[in-house]
A and B are shown apart, each in its own frame.
Chain A
């Protein structure tokens, strides 16, 4: 239990920087890499400057499997943290239903977030019985095809602008001994089907499958094309050409060893760290260049209900942090470093690079719910198992893939 003997003084007006008593607020998150740490440091800086409270950082790597057990244990153990980051999605659903997460609706109304939120659908996973329990702070999208300019210079073809052109260039690439599709082992394959679904399948199919969980849509012809695209990728990828980490794929693309790869926008962070310049060293094709809407998810912040006896100053610090996380200044500083898209429409993103600008244009057409966003973690895990199995075992035919995908969507809740 945190015991602070501090006289409770009602905080002065929001954003007042002269909070009488500074409180410590523990924030857990799994942004442990260099790029991510720099981004979360922005949040901490703005929080400490504007409120005088101190941000106690307790980073826990390992994303879902690594951090979830700790976050959940701490909450049900009665020693919750001040605030925690989790994927925008239905991971924390039950925690909200169990009344362990603090209701943020009054803060939301005070700031009337509907005005500036880029897409109301982002708030859906956070709302339960009409009340809001979390604030999404960024938008990440898997919907990117990264292409190597060096690879295409070597085979003397222009850099493709759509998925079909890219697939067409594979034979030439293979002759030149260039890996048509770079891939890392483990979870990175799990995001690829979602991207193919929105690119090849189109927005209606995404909504039908992810949101409505319509089994017939999965058995339909459009989804079959998605499955065939997966089969095509499987044919050019083999276990011994896969690399340990997705950052290594980034290096392969810059070096021209691999022609292209489907991965989330956070790969840009690594491409830039490795000295890549968008437009010169690599190209980025949002939604495979075939759809005008991006599927997306992202990270959100939850504020656990603190046990009674916690000094009100800490509760006050929670409220202020919630407001700051979605304030224009913090949003700009954080998302630029993180390489994700802010959730506010009124943020000047002129400094963002070319790829980010493309994404912002597409964002105006509204956000499609990605798998992480709309499906329960249980369903996501089953789909990930299916995709990993399909990739690693050629005996699974496209029909098996479609059938098993359908049965998973059928039992999805």
Chain B
């Protein structure tokens, strides 16, 4: 439906208020109708759920959301629980490494694939296939590989290299890096695809200009192409970031939080207490704490990225 043309608006002429209202509702009417599902999802689901979560985290509801108000009791218990505090520090450590390595390896592999090499399709599928397999079993395979007796370390020692130690899976200080190995194996492929799409979107003449300017290829990638891929990088960071915050399947399949609670993560705490322990209030309190930290990071960054300047990024 074509938009309100200028003449119609002027003919209306019933004072600035109606024009103001018309401006809010009728301008871009079709855009608003088209974006209605998004707005509904945002308001009802995301905002609604967050309020629901926060509300019931102040109650003592157990299996069903029905308990009565108990103030900050759940939070006091949460902060007193060592497993929760360890989970948060684990997530920060794992998250930092996972974000940096995924983005760096993703970009490096995308650059390699962008070099018009042979068998590109084969290489791309090899890097992407882990993304397709459900993590329950692939986690088990990694568990085998990194298991001190069954896996790499045991085999190497049998082959005579007795000094070889690779016991990260069962070593409390190193288990997070064992998670990282399996996590990168599963996640880097998709980030590479995303970045390759970004690289291929760059205008060919930029490359020619840089070559004529005598700028070496690696420098062109870093100083010219990378800043141009801002949109793709933002998408990748949000994708990897949300994967880190919601980390659950990888931990359950690979270490189940062990050894001890050395690889516990917040989402596992939320899931265990909401369903396993039938105490949704405690689970929701944990989830609210997670959302709070995310909000503190996201809101200022999003304001800077989308809202603030309002110009087309």
**Chain A residues engaging chain B, CB cutoff 8 angstroms:** 64-65, 68-69, 72, 76, 91-95, 98, 185-187, 238-242, 244, 376-378, 380-382, 385, 388-389, 391-393
Offer 19 A-B interface pairs, CB within 8 angstroms, sorted by A. A68-B275, A68-B278, A76-B64, A92-B63, A94-B66, A185-B258, A186-B256, A238-B170, A239-B170, A240-B149, A244-B140, A377-B276, A377-B278, A378-B273, A378-B277, A378-B282, A385-B261, A388-B260, A392-B261
Q: Are B64 and A381 in contact, CB atoms less than 8 angstroms apart? A: no
A44 to B272, CA, bound (A): 31
Q: Are A392 and B147 CB-contacts (below 8 A) given A69-B275, A378-B279?
A: no
Q: Are A393 and B260 CB-contacts (below 8 A) given A94-B63, A240-B170?
A: yes
Point out the residues of chain B lying under 8 angstroms from A381, CB to CB.
Answer: 272-273, 276-277, 279
Q: Are B149 and A378 in contact, CB atoms less than 8 angstroms apart? A: no
Point out the residues of chain A lying under 8 angstroms from B143, CB to CB.
Answer: 244
Binary contact readout B248-273 vs A (1 if CB under 8 angstroms, 0 otherwise): 00000001111111100000000111
Closest to A185 in B: B258
Interface centre among A72, A376, A381 (most CB of B within 10 A): A381
Point out the residues of chain B lying under 8 angstroms from A393, CB to CB.
Answer: 172, 260-261
A376 to B66, CA, bound (A): 17
Does B208 touch A at the CB level, under 8 Å? no
Point out the residues of chain A lying under 8 angstroms from B262, CB to CB.
Answer: 392
Q: Are A186 and B64 in contact, CB atoms less than 8 angstroms apart? A: no
Interface centre among A72, A76, A92, A95 (most CB of B within 10 A): A72
Q: Which of under 10, 10 to 19, 20 to 34, or 35 or more describes the interface residues of B?
A: 35 or more
Point out the residues of chain B lying under 8 angstroms from A239, CB to CB.
Answer: 170-172, 258-260
With A239-B171, A376-B278, A378-B277 known, 7 other A-B pairs at CB within 8 A are: A186-B256, A186-B258, A239-B258, A240-B167, A381-B272, A388-B260, A389-B261
Does B309 touch A at the CB level, under 8 Å? no
Q: Are A95 and B64 in contact, CB atoms less than 8 angstroms apart? A: yes
Closest to A91 in B: B278
Point out the residues of chain B lying under 8 angstroms from A241, CB to CB.
Answer: 149
Does B62 touch A at the CB level, under 8 Å? yes
With beta carbons under 8 angstroms apart, the residue of A68, A92, A388 that contacts B261 is A388
Binary contact readout B4-44 vs A (1 if CB under 8 angstroms, 0 otherwise): 00000000000000000000000000000000000000000
Q: Are A392 and B258 in contact, CB atoms less than 8 angstroms apart? A: yes
Does B116 touch A at the CB level, under 8 Å? no
With beta carbons under 8 angstroms apart, the residue of A76, A377, A391 that contacts B277 is A377
Does B198 touch A at the CB level, under 8 Å? no
The distance from the CB of A200 to the nearest CB of chain B, in whole angstroms, is 24
A352 to B143, CA, bound (A): 37
Q: Are B275 and A240 in contact, CB atoms less than 8 angstroms apart? A: no
Closest to B144 in A: A244
Point out the residues of chain A lying under 8 angstroms from B282, CB to CB.
Answer: 378
The distance from the CB of A310 to the nearest CB of chain B, in whole angstroms, is 22
A318 to B82, CA, bound (A): 45
Does B83 touch A at the CB level, under 8 Å? yes
The distance from the CB of B252 to the nearest CB of chain A, in whole angstroms, is 9
Main secondary structure of the interface of A (DSSP, over half): helix
The distance from the CB of A55 to the nearest CB of chain B, in whole angstroms, is 26
A240 to B261, CA, bound (A): 15
The distance from the CB of B148 to the nearest CB of chain A, in whole angstroms, is 4
Q: Are A68 and B64 CB-contacts (below 8 A) given A185-B258, A378-B282, A385-B261?
A: no
The 8 closest A-B pairs by CB, nearest first: A392-B260, A381-B277, A239-B170, A239-B259, A240-B148, A94-B63, A378-B279, A65-B276
A24 to B239, CA, bound (A): 44
Q: Are B64 and A185 in contact, CB atoms less than 8 angstroms apart? A: no
The distance from the CB of B103 to the nearest CB of chain A, in whole angstroms, is 32
A391 to B261, CA, bound (A): 10
A185 to B81, CA, bound (A): 21
Q: Are B83 and A389 in contact, CB atoms less than 8 angstroms apart? A: yes
A25 to B49, CA, bound (A): 34
Point out the residues of chain B lying under 8 angstroms from A91, CB to CB.
Answer: 63, 278
A52 to B299, CA, bound (A): 61
A91 to B279, CA, bound (A): 10
Point out the residues of chain A lying under 8 angstroms from B144, CB to CB.
Answer: 244
Q: Are A93 and B63 CB-contacts (below 8 A) given A240-B149, A244-B147, A378-B278?
A: yes
A378 to B62, CA, bound (A): 8
Point out the residues of chain A lying under 8 angstroms from B278, CB to CB.
Answer: 68, 91, 94, 376-378
Binary contact readout B62-87 vs A (1 if CB under 8 angstroms, 0 otherwise): 11101000000000000001110000
Interface centre among A76, A95, A240 (most CB of B within 10 A): A240
Q: Are A377 and B279 CB-contacts (below 8 A) given A72-B63, A389-B83, A389-B261?
A: yes
With beta carbons under 8 angstroms apart, the residue of A98, A378, A389 that contacts B82 is A389
Q: Are A380 and B82 in contact, CB atoms less than 8 angstroms apart? A: no
A391 to B258, CA, bound (A): 10
A378 to B171, CA, bound (A): 29
Closest to B84 in A: A385
The distance from the CB of B53 to the nearest CB of chain A, in whole angstroms, is 16
The distance from the CB of A32 to the nearest CB of chain B, in whole angstroms, is 13
The distance from the CB of B169 to the nearest CB of chain A, in whole angstroms, is 8
Q: Are B256 and A185 in contact, CB atoms less than 8 angstroms apart? A: yes
Point out the residues of chain A lying under 8 angstroms from B279, CB to CB.
Answer: 377-378, 381
Q: Are A391 and B260 CB-contacts (below 8 A) given A64-B275, A240-B170, A378-B277?
A: yes
A91 to B277, CA, bound (A): 8
Q: Are A68 and B260 in contact, CB atoms less than 8 angstroms apart? A: no
The distance from the CB of B65 to the nearest CB of chain A, in whole angstroms, is 9
With beta carbons under 8 angstroms apart, the residue of A98, A240, A242 that contacts B64 is A98
Point out the residues of chain A lying under 8 angstroms from B83, CB to CB.
Answer: 385, 389
Point out the residues of chain B lying under 8 angstroms from A380, CB to CB.
Answer: 277
Closest to B260 in A: A392
